[in-house]
Structure 1
Amino acid sequence: MSPNIQTWQQALPHGITLSCRACGDKGRPVLMFLHGFPEAAFVWDELLVHFARPENGGYRCVAPNLRGYERSSAPAEVKDYRAKFLVQDIVALIDAECDGQPLAALVAHDWGGAVAWNVANQHPDRMRQLVIINSPHPAPFLKAMQSDPAQQAASAYMSFLVQPHAAAQLSANGFAQLLGFLRGDDDQLSGAHSLAAKAAPWLTPEVEERYKFVWSQGLDGGLNYYRASPLRPVTATEDLISDMVLPAEILRIDVPTLVLWAQDDIALRPCLTEGLDQHVPDLTLVPIDNATHWVVHEQPARVISEISRFLKHPGQ
């Protein structure tokens, strides 16, 4: 762990505790970072250290482990992972960190982004800017789930993750399937048993061990995000979305928003950014070539550069 990273357990008023990582002094403008599945707060460490430096803004940078992850509270019931409760956690953490001021920006990836879209929609006063990294806004995601065969196929792994046996299967053989997923093997989260390893230079033995530690705390919390969400592919036994219509008022984002989209994401295709400006009027969309879903690991300097540019010049 970097000597600059602070860690603690943040108790929230509604009974949830989030294990948090931070860099920078309290009282400074706050950047908050939300991770995705099957990740944890540590994935943001390089960005926490960077943006806390005086020459890079001197921010207070905070990254919680979301509900269900690492040492954060992990309620057992699937219903406790509905969006309203995930939003409640982050709003309460903002209150604890910001002393009545809005975040300088909320930065989020994957499932953290799903939470962030909701926070920005429901509580735009809690942040000045929003940064989303490969996490679909609900409107284009629903459209793709209803009508785009390629994205439907790319999202098929979700049908495996909601199964009761998913945590046990993902934990088997030293978390081999999850490690395959990080290496970019799209079979690994479909229930397939191929263990062919692909090259992922960022996934060093040290990083692998950090992931295994997080996963050893339990996987069902992270899987419950999928189980609690109605936005998942149609199967032979379940169809939650064919006739779903989302109200316009839950789709609009009224804060300046930067969306970074790695173009080689095998699970979340670039089509998920189409039509986004209909719901996010102040949008800056930046495609990142030669990068996968794990772009924060693969190209941290590029991610930092794009966020830095946006923080100085929102909407440019």
Structure 2
Amino acid sequence: MTPNIQTWQQTLPHGITLSCRACGEPGRPVLMFLHGFPEAAFVWDPLLQHFARPENGGYRCVAPNLRGYETSSTPHDVKAYRAKFLVQDIVALIDAECGTQPLAALVAHDWGGALAWSLANGHPERLKQLVIINSPHPGPFVQAMRNNPAQQAASAYMNFLIQPDAASQLSADGFKKLFGFLRGSNDELRGTHSLAARAAPWLTPELENRYREVWGHGLEGGLNYYRASPLRPPCEQDPGAAAIELPPEMLHIAVPTLVLWAQDDIALLPCLTQGLDQHVPDLTLVPLPGATHWVVHEQTERVIEEISAVLKPGVQ
């Protein structure tokens, strides 16, 4: 029997409301899932339903739409999307779901992963395990922005996304640029001539409609993550991440961490896992060949398998 997905609006003590999706009974050990750009909480539905089943751990599985997405609160001020405020949202949601208990695991992709790295660094007591899917740790990312021309070029789309008219460009022609990005053309988000779209059989008409519905709520919130962050590639006007010095205490991750890295990600190259073990002593790194940035859609069963392998009985 497939567990039902519950949806609700969770108002947090500091005034932000997050629209949430969940499977499983309250009071069970909690798995929390954080999405990235330009996604939404619904991308985790197969994992919520899988891990909520009694035979798969019977977890309480929760996936919020992050601040700025879908019907969650969308402040207008770019400063409201700084990491400390985004992490505050997730810590408050953990409090609401877990009380004084830590998460069994925090699972995160892309921008959700950026929040998860920060939360695990600043609040390690709030989670027992961390699972990161194609989201760079700030240490290797800063190094790549200084020294790796290939990753600098792959990240150039970020400087397009901070432009004032990015939302209108991305919304034009039925979200053509965003769908091009999902189909594997990094050029679409750089605003340049598109490469030939790759085959993306996972992007069904039904899924396209789900994305259109989410994007129809607005794109400015998601774009403000890029505008608020200094972690972007250098350009003529801005040195970006290349000018940043991060102290070691901001980089250390004390919890056991599984990193899944799709090897065909055209935006976040495998080089971003180099040196990760310097910051994450208890690290399991699993390369996923033949997968792109959208591996949660493409290889759902493989992602579930790898997460299941680290959810040992002791974690519950």
Please report the TM-score for the alignment, with normalisation by the length of structure 1.
0.97
Partner of 2:146: 146
Q: CA deviation at 1:197?
A: 3.8
| 1:190 corresponds to 2:177 | no
Moved over 6 A (4+): none
Partner of 1:225: 225
Q: CA deviation at 1:194?
A: 3.4
Partner Cα separation in structure 1 for residue 166 and residue 86 of structure 2: 22
Q: Which amino acid aligns with 2:4?
A: N
Q: Contact 1:35 / 1:108 at 8 angstroms: preserved in 2?
A: yes
Q: CA deviation at 1:199?
A: 1.4
Partner Cα separation in structure 2 for residue 210 and residue 43 of structure 1: 9
Q: CA deviation at 1:240?
A: 3.1
Partner of 1:11: 11
Specify every segment of 5 or more residues in structure 1 that has no aligned partner in the other structure, as ranges: none
Partner Cα separation in structure 2 for residue 193 and residue 17 of structure 1: 38
Partner Cα separation in structure 2 for residue 240 and residue 18 of structure 1: 30
Partner Cα separation in structure 2 for residue 314 and residue 275 of structure 1: 29
Specify every segment of 5 or more residues in structure 2 that has no aligned partner in the other structure, as ranges: none
Partner Cα separation in structure 2 for residue 124 and residue 71 of structure 1: 29
Q: Percent identity?
A: 76
Q: Contact 2:120 / 2:127 at 8 angstroms: preserved in 1?
A: yes
Q: CA deviation at 1:159?
A: 0.6
Partner of 1:301: 301
Q: Which amino acid aligns with 2:205?
A: P
SS in structure 2 of the partner of residue 32 of structure 1: strand
Alignment map for 1:1-316 (pairs within 5 Å): 4-194=4-194, 196-312=196-312
Q: Contact 2:79 / 2:228 at 8 angstroms: preserved in 1?
A: yes
Q: Which amino acid aligns with 2:147?
A: S
- In structure 2, relative to structure 1, the CA distance for the partners of 1:52 and 1:3 (3 Å cut) is closer
- C-alpha offsets along residues 227-274 of structure 1, whole Å, 9 cap, x if unaligned? 000011111111233332100001000000000000000000000000
Q: Contact 1:81 / 1:224 at 8 angstroms: preserved in 2?
A: yes
Partner Cα separation in structure 1 for residue 208 and residue 3 of structure 2: 20
- Indicate the RMSD between aligned Cα atoms, in angstroms: 1.4
Greater mean deviation of Cα atoms: 197-206 or 117-126: 197-206
Partner Cα separation in structure 1 for residue 117 and residue 230 of structure 2: 16
Partner Cα separation in structure 2 for residue 141 and residue 130 of structure 1: 18
Q: Which amino acid aligns with 1:311?
A: L
- In structure 2, relative to structure 1, the CA distance for the partners of 1:93 and 1:236 (3 Å cut) is same
Partner Cα separation in structure 2 for residue 240 and residue 218 of structure 1: 26
SS in structure 1 of the partner of residue 243 of structure 2: coil
- In structure 2, relative to structure 1, the CA distance for the partners of 1:252 and 1:314 (3 Å cut) is farther
Partner Cα separation in structure 1 for residue 279 and residue 206 of structure 2: 40
